[in-house]
Chain A
Amino acid sequence: MSELTGTGTLLRLAWRRDRVLIPVALLALTALSVGSAQATLDLYPTEAAAKAGLGSVLANPAVEAMYGPIAAENLGALAVFKTVVMGAVFVALLAYAVVRRHTRVEEEVGRLELVGAGVVGRRAPLTAAMLLAGIAVVAAGLLSALGLIGIGLDAAGSVGFGVAWVIAGIAMVGVTAVAAQLTTSARACAGIALSVLAVMFVLRAVGDTAGGGAQVLSWASPLGWANKVGAYGPNRFWVLGLAVALAAVLVGLAYSLLDRRDVGAGLLPSRPGPASARPSLGTPTGLTWRLTRPSVVGWLAAFVVLGGVLGSLVTSVADMASDPAVVDMLRKLGGSAGSITDIFLATELAFVGVAAAAAGIGIALRVASEERSGRGEEVLATATSRSSWLGAHALIAFALPTVLLLVLALVVGLGAGGQGEVPGVSSILGAAAARIPAVLVLVAVALLASAALPRWAPAIGWGALAVAFALGELGATIGLPDWLVKVSPFAHVPQLPGGEFTWTPVLVTTAVAAAITAAAFAAYRARDVA
């Protein structure tokens, strides 16, 4: 029997299971790229208008850190400026989700064993998962390229844009394939793969913002490659070769790891543990804390590192945009009286807030995943009330993003606070704190979804974050009406540091989070445990 026997059947099975997820994701991605490009074209009908309007914004290092440098000063490059790298991150997330779903998750719940006992080659399940993810990634690039050509943009540049997305996607297919071989738990696989993605992003952001030799860092990251294609500018299609080579190496590594291990096992064997539980494990909160500790520690470490990176960037930001005309323009556009440094920090905090929300949502969704696995039932059959079980998760889910934001602000503040134009520790802490209520609204939504609709909780929880991010951070760019943008809690966060602080939006957002949380508790008490 060949190593790959059965791949076709498994590929069809995987497609059958993902036939909603993938088309919806492809549709959303195409809408993102084509929609935002069309909005830019509507806003700047001519090249001259485009150059005049956005030329100076593009010199903003905060914007460069998030979206990468613009490929060229023409209409096409401007139209896709915000979606090349951000969209590439989303494509990478899609690739990651598909590969992980059909490999480590299947293995952990034991279904792969059922499959493996059939006429199926050893490498077939992994191959089928990678093929499906690869097809989805290429389809995402292709659809966007066609859509962009469709709205009248340059064909070569549009293909370049599609290539940029494919680069990020296939690199992530390889990364996830390797991560799935390393550990026995699907959660740990997620931790490894997403950390690698975060590192790729940070490398690219640092490379694109910091000048001089550090620029080479962008070339060390597949997300940097996506930007280096230079769609509508140099159109370096050959960069795709780098991604194909990287993916080939990673896939080879994943295969060789797979060949060396048993089904269900990871590379690291399970070691014996304590024969009895410590006293702290005997309460719902103690148990939840113990179960979430690895992910809490991982997030904390990531935020400390991120704080260090931002702290070292922020001091050099002022030098890079020292042209008084640019500074003046930025102030007007940002509606903020702050300095370049303030605007840089405010922008970075916005993105960091999204990551912190993701951390809290991950914890809140555990209520649903524990229930689906059957362990929730075992806990609720003890003297643990539903409120205390949900409360234990709510506590950690709300505390984690709060602590993460404050820790990051503290690291940035202690590293760079007060130097040159950089605001002091307390005002950086205040800026981070002002963002917490908006983050908690999204965590509360995930909690409510877990409490009311456990089956749909992951889709609702992550979907709400994606929508809030798209509306709040990209909504204005895509040209959405103001009332729609305001649906996002992120749209109500005061632009700090530098901007005006007002209590009303912060208090209202906090009240909304509290109300959603109360609804979650009520819903959880009222329904059947599935």
Chain B
Amino acid sequence: MVVPVNTVIETRDLRKTFGPTVALDGLDLTVPEGEVHGFLGPNGAGKSTTIRILLGLTKADSGEARLLGGDPWRDATELHRRVAYVPGDVALWPNLTGGETIDVLARLRGGIDERRRAELIERFELDPTKKARSYSKGNRQKVALVAALASDAPLLILDEPTSGLDPLMERVFQDELRAARERGHSVLLSSHILSEVEHAAERVSIVRAGRIVETGTLTELRHLSRSTVHAVVRTPVGQDISGWPGIEDVVVDEAGTDIRFSVDAEHVGDAVGRLDRLGITNLTCEPASLEDLFLAHYAQAPESVTV
């Protein structure tokens, strides 16, 4: 087997077009075993398409995809015993109750842990006797989440699982994600929103227009972004500070004592040292904002992102 067993998801140069629409344009994604992996990107970036290929629901035009070491299209049925999936848009059978739906989905996958089921129903405050047609959107989402989390599958694939959950329930969900990671389970968690994956994910991949444009741990990504510094110093400086290493966007007032600039993560210490020599009376250094990095990726063409 080409893929080492400790990689649960691996795609290489995945391509998929729907008529004129290019949904995936050479997507490379790797998720090692035991990792909660955030899968971030704007609307229409190709997250759901990737997930559907990984689940063998859609066939890629070209490229390679491996799921738990198997071929997701050919070995779909076997692989699905070890994968639990929550779709972004949960549709339920209107005349089955929530409890029945949980059991049906879990049994079709191969079984359910009754104790976990009861515990999750309680934690998510779900009424399992209600008919699915009378559930609110958030409650429909909970039904699918309970069915997935109670199944004890070693890989969870979650497509925007918290859409519709209230903040309290979202916190319960985050706890469950951490618990899944502690049990050694792997998770692919797709989302639009950074804060949703920030708590639980150790690594994230950002997808845009069908390609991964950034991937790494949150710390690594933080390094990619820049801090903004605002300092008031005693010794006036000229515009010459733009020659300092790693510095951009310099704004100095007429007196030359009020300085603003942005600096990359490597050169923060150097810049602060130089400011110190000018005699700091006031200093604010805003840490790297991942949010800005993401927004920049969302808004711009894939190649030209600078923050």
User: Which residues of chain A have a CB within 8 Å of any CB of chain B?
Assistant: 108, 184-185, 270-277, 281-284, 287, 290-291, 373-375, 377-386, 527-529
Contact = CB atoms under 8 A, between A and B. Distances in A.
B104 A281 contact: yes
B107 A380 contact: no
Given A184-B133, A272-B97, A273-B129, A379 B108 contact: yes
A284 B108 CA distance: 7
Contact of B80 (A184, A381, A528): A381
B52 interface: yes
Contacts of B80: 381-384
A277 B100 contact: yes
The DSSP consensus for interface residues of chain A is: loop
B104 A273 contact: no
Contact of A375 (B58, B93, B100): B93
Interface string B38-76: 000000000000001001111100000000000000001
B100 A378 contact: no
21 contacts: A270-B134, A271-B131, A272-B129, A273-B96, A273-B97, A273-B100, A273-B131, A274-B97, A274-B100, A275-B99, A276-B100, A277-B102, A281-B103, A287-B108, A373-B91, A375-B93, A379-B108, A380-B76, A383-B78, A385-B76, A385-B77
A257 to B, nearest CB: 19
Interface in B69-122: 76-78, 80-81, 83, 85, 87, 89-97, 99-105, 107-110
A383 B129 contact: no
A276 B144 CA distance: 14
A185 B77 contact: no
Given A274-B100, A275-B99, A281-B107, A184 B94 contact: yes
A381 B107 contact: no
B128 interface: yes
A282 B57 contact: no
Contacts of B107: 277, 281-283
Contact of A528 (B59, B76, B95): B59
B58 A529 contact: yes
A374 B87 contact: yes
A276 B128 contact: yes
Contacts of B96: 273, 277, 290-291
B199 interface: no
B131 A270 contact: yes
A389 to B, nearest CB: 9
B128 A275 contact: yes
Of listed B81, B100, B103, B108, residue having the most chain A CB within 10 A: B108
Contacts of A108: 94
B12 interface: no
A380 B87 CA distance: 12
A436 to B, nearest CB: 30
A428 B95 CA distance: 38
B183 interface: no
Contacts of A270: 130-131, 133-134
Given A270-B131, A277-B104, A281-B104, A378 B144 contact: yes
Nearest to A108: B94
A183 to B, nearest CB: 10
B103 A529 contact: no
B108 A377 contact: no
B77 A381 contact: no
A206 B39 CA distance: 66
Nearest to A375: B91
A380 B83 CA distance: 12
A374 B105 CA distance: 14
Nearest to A290: B96
Contacts of A283: 107-108
A375 to B, nearest CB: 5
A529 B100 contact: no
B100 A272 contact: no
A381 B144 contact: no
Contact of B104 (A287, A383, A528): A287
Contact of B105 (A185, A290, A378, A528): A378
Interface in B227-284: none
